[in-house]
Amino acid sequence: MRKLSIPISDDQIRELNMGDPVLLSGVMLTGRDTVHKWMIETFIEESRQPVDDDKKVYEAIRPILDGGAIYHCGPVVAGLDTGDYRFVAAGPTTSIREEPYQGDVMRHFNLKAVIGKGGMADKTLAACQEVPAVYLHAIGGAASLIAQSVRKVRGVRKLDFGVPEAMWEIEVVDFPAVVTMDSHGKSLHAEIEAQSRAVLESLLA
């Protein structure tokens, strides 16, 4: 079991290999479809003009993401009426939905870890090698257990996106995950897909 603290260095990332279990501690952000699309269109491709507090939010999140992690998660949050936020459930979202955006977001912000479930594809794997970075597979169906590793909700940005789609800034201690895509070009998801395809073809032959 490898313990990692955010921010994560390039050397630490390169020491990780597909299949390594990790416990992650530090401050990270949640972000799903709406957040990734907003990042790409507003600050990377610059295909839309920043509005409202966009620039202020960007300046706040950039140092958190530099060397940091983003978690594909739509949490269940208590305390919305008082602002005393607490994660009740924090299970991972299926990551492949972010595949069109993820690699560019990783390069732009120098992200070192992307966390979710189900894995990602070639564009993200290429970014893992270039940045370098890793994809960490969190445990689907263990939302309440994972929420216990969220020791503090430090704040929220873009709450107008909705609770699941907002960027929640969280402090985690010993967040459990497994490296399933590493910086050396290996993807457990691609390997399992290839093995499954081979078995299917042999059954159909």
* Alpha-carbon gap, residue 54 to 35, rounded angstroms: 11
Measured in whole angstroms, the distance separating CA 184 from the mean position of its chain's CA atoms is 19
The pair of three-digit structure tokens given for residue 50, joined into one six-digit string:
């920043």
User: Do the Cβ atoms of 27 and 6 come closer than 8 Å?
Assistant: yes
Which whole-number Å values give the CA distances from 73 to 29, 32, 82, 94, 133, in the listed order?
9, 7, 22, 9, 19
User: Could you confirm whether 36 is annotated as catalytic?
Assistant: yes
What positions carry a catalytic annotation? 36
